[in-house]
Chains A and B, each alone.
Chain A
Amino acid sequence: MGTIVSILVLVLFLTAILTGGYNKKFLQRVQGSNMWDWLTTVDHKKIGIMYLGAGGFFFLIGGLEALLIRVQLFYPNNDFIVGDTFNQLLTMHGTTMIFFVAMPLLIGFMNVAVPLQIGARDVAFPFLNALSFWLFLGGGIMLNLGWLFGGAADAGWTSYVPIASNQFSPGPGVDYYVLGLQISGIGTLIGGINFLVTIINMRAPGMTFLRLPLFTWTTFVTSALILFAFPPLTVGLLLIMFDRIFGSHFFDAAMGGNSLIWQHLFWIFGHPEVYIVILPAFGIISEVISTFSKKRLFGYNSMVFATILIGFLGFMVWAHHMFTVGMGPVANAIFAVATMSIAVPTGIKIFNWLFTMWGGRLQFTTAMKFAVGFIPTFVMGGVTGVMLASPPADYQYHDSYFVVAHFHYVLIGGTVFGVLAGVYYWWPRMFGHKLNERLGNVHFWLFFIGFHLTFLIQHWLGLYGMPRRVFTYQAADGLTWINQVSTVGAVMMGVATLVFLYNVVYSRKSATAASAERDPWDGRTLEWAIPCPTPEYNFAQLPKVRGLDAWWMEKMAGNKELEPAEPLQPIHMPSSSYRPILMSLGFFVSGLGFIFRTIEVGVLGLVMVFLLMFTRSFEQDHGYHIEVDQIKEAEKGA
């Protein structure tokens, strides 16, 4: 009861503040502030930057967790972090990096780049886009609250039952995991649907499907994967929540349940999830390699085909995470063959990137270095993937550091390299100045060498018998020097990240008005045809698209601007809304209520969400227009 009262008081306080209980002037000052603008924005460019900022913040947290893990493993029998705290670290590192780093960073780029690449003024549902972001942030904060209140999740990022059941994980740790992921999952699902609708319906005239830039294509396929893969996760999390909070027995063998159901549900989601975090990176790499080779992407059609095929096959292979469960040789063989077949479309992509570079005028900017570093690194991760796909061999590799090395090669060598390439590539589009290339060079080499130092040797660490997720080893095991090399590499990656952060500050400080170029890389796709900084309406007139690499075609034809497909006319814009952040707050309160077993508070939070939805349906909001003379003035200024 006490909790309810204090929450009600808090809500009343917030209402008083937000409705101007203090005075009108205060309210006006709040609404005129920059902060209010960002909190209520529905502009895809700002939402993309917030996604990248929040994802970057969680990246630092997850990286710090990784460093602590590596410090603990530096000496045999070390007692720096042991037992339950170590379990929390490895669980939170994995969960954070997949759900709150890889996904938001990629979704951030989708927000920043996709509407611009297809010649649209915003995504299809700007309000829902803001809601997606705030739900993701709410979920991420909720997961990490575990560190402060009652212990973080400690059942591994896969959260297998029965370890994740009340019996073996008492305390709120796993509840933070379940509700944090559930809330951010709603946001991701909304975001996926939003991008599907955007790409199907909002393309500029002439932008046919086979003229879409490859990053847009991978976004499209990724969004479809989100649409089909997240419901199984939602169901799985709901079952675990009912088992833990309401005393059901879905996963309790003693009561007729079956813990295997969780593993299947998790991996039916989990395997498409790894393609959700790699396909957009493929897209970024394709854009970067094509731009800095000064060539059309080699085999564009086969790239599109390979993307769709990977997305499709991604749903047929989940059980390869469960070879040692005992499904029998037939099931294992089927899933093994399906898994190996994914190497074919992936190989198509690798060769297409190489052939794009072949004979191109290569420019090794930092973005290009990350893209080129990506290719061999990802191939190595892919090869160990095929090795792991063979069930007899998998019995040897299973739950060893070999697996750890494999998935870090694809997730860092694939996703993170792709994201960093995207950061250097799109930074001028987002912030109006390039990142310093000299510091970028240092960043790349430190990160690249540090990465291989950390993880290459972990393959052997696994083959020599070190199990994953274990907090120590003995001096007699002969694993000491390997672990020490690995830790040194991890520290190098940490230093590289500091160099990057310094680069961000340094480049911003040394940026001048002259550094705002609209097309700094001599780009190929539509986003580089827009004035810099990007006006809030993106395109004064929607462009007419005549082919693949539309902006490059216009430049080759000697045109300074895109050919407009419509006369200059007032532009309809969506208005900002304070509702998304409040809805997310409602879900957040509700989640906390369920975590602390105060069902009343849980219901209260949901009521808040439904009230906000209900009142919104009566809100008369038709947005606003930017008039022609305002557009003309803005275009002249740019």
Chain B
Amino acid sequence: MKANAEQTKNQTAVQTSQESAWKHVTSFAVMIVLTAIAFAAVATNLVPSHLLVPLLLTLAAVQVVVQLYTFMHLNQKGSGFPVAFMASGIFIGVISAVALMILV
């Protein structure tokens, strides 16, 4: 009974590691594409210059989320607190920064 349970556990572990390997490859590809877009946007002059900085910042933000979730393992169980605290930190930081830009 116990051995059986152990076996199933091992199998799931193998499955998840395969899954996460694919996930890593996909997100790596996504990140390379994002970086390529950023380079292309600057190099080709296709994007009007006043949109360039916002676009780059958005791409960077997406990169950060992808990095944190797949490579820093924030998608795994038990990382609720780090996510909550990072989110609150970013939220408070953004509010303070925006207010300083507008009000000062």
Contact = CB atoms under 8 A, between A and B. Distances in A.
Nearest to A263: B104
A319 B99 contact: yes
Given A228-B92, A232-B96, A319 B103 contact: yes
Interface string B77-103: 000010001001100100110011011
A331 B103 contact: yes
If over half of B's interface residues share one DSSP class (helix, strand or loop), that class is named, otherwise mixed; here it is helix
A371 interface: no
A388 B100 CA distance: 23
A261 B104 contact: yes
A330 to B, nearest CB: 10
Interface residues of B, number: 12
Contacts of B96: 232, 264, 268, 315
A230 to B, nearest CB: 12
A442 interface: no
Given A200-B81, A315-B95, A316-B95, A264 B88 contact: no
B104 A258 contact: yes
Interface string A40-83: 00000000000000000000000000000000000000000000
A258 B95 CA distance: 19
Interface in B56-70: none
A224 B99 contact: no
Interface in A224-273: 224, 227-228, 232, 258, 260-261, 264, 268
Given A268-B96, A315-B95, A316-B95, A228 B104 contact: no
Given A200-B81, A315-B95, A316-B95, A224 B88 contact: yes
B103 A227 contact: no
A268 B88 CA distance: 15
Nearest to A325: B103
A227 B82 CA distance: 13
B95 A260 contact: no
A327 interface: yes
A312 B85 CA distance: 12
Given A200-B81, A260-B104, A315 B99 contact: no
Interface residues of A, number: 17
A232 B100 CA distance: 12
Interface in A323-378: 327, 331
Contact of B85 (A224, A258, A327): A224
If over half of A's interface residues share one DSSP class (helix, strand or loop), that class is named, otherwise mixed; here it is helix
Contacts of A327: 103
B85 A227 contact: yes
Contacts of A316: 95
Interface string B2-14: 0000000000000
Contacts of B89: 227-228
A315 B92 contact: yes
A264 B92 contact: no
A200 B83 CA distance: 14
Given A228-B88, A228-B92, A315-B95, A264 B104 contact: yes
Contacts of A196: 85
A228 B81 CA distance: 15
Contacts of B102: 331
A258 B103 CA distance: 12
Contacts of A260: 103-104
Contact of A264 (B81, B85, B99): B99
Interface string A297-321: 0000000000000001001100100
Nearest to A229: B92
A195 to B, nearest CB: 13
B93 to A, nearest CB: 8
Nearest to B89: A228
A316 B99 CA distance: 10
Nearest to A312: B88
B50 to A, nearest CB: 25
B80 to A, nearest CB: 10
Nearest to A232: B96
A139 B89 CA distance: 26
A331 B81 CA distance: 33
A224 B84 CA distance: 11
Contact of B103 (A224, A264, A315): A264
A268 B103 CA distance: 13
Most chain B C-beta atoms within 10 Å of own C-beta, residue among A228, A261, A319: A228
A227 B103 CA distance: 24
Nearest to A311: B88
B19 to A, nearest CB: 28
A264 B97 CA distance: 10
B49 to A, nearest CB: 26
Nearest to A259: B104
A227 B89 CA distance: 9
A222 to B, nearest CB: 14
Interface in A172-223: 196, 200
- CB-based closest 3 A-B pairs: A260-B104, A315-B92, A268-B96
20 contacts: A196-B85, A224-B85, A227-B85, A227-B89, A228-B89, A232-B96, A258-B104, A260-B103, A261-B104, A264-B99, A264-B100, A264-B104, A268-B96, A312-B88, A315-B92, A315-B95, A319-B99, A319-B103, A331-B102, A331-B103
Given A232-B96, A331-B103, 12 more contacts: A224-B85, A227-B85, A227-B89, A260-B103, A260-B104, A261-B100, A264-B99, A264-B100, A264-B103, A264-B104, A315-B95, A315-B96
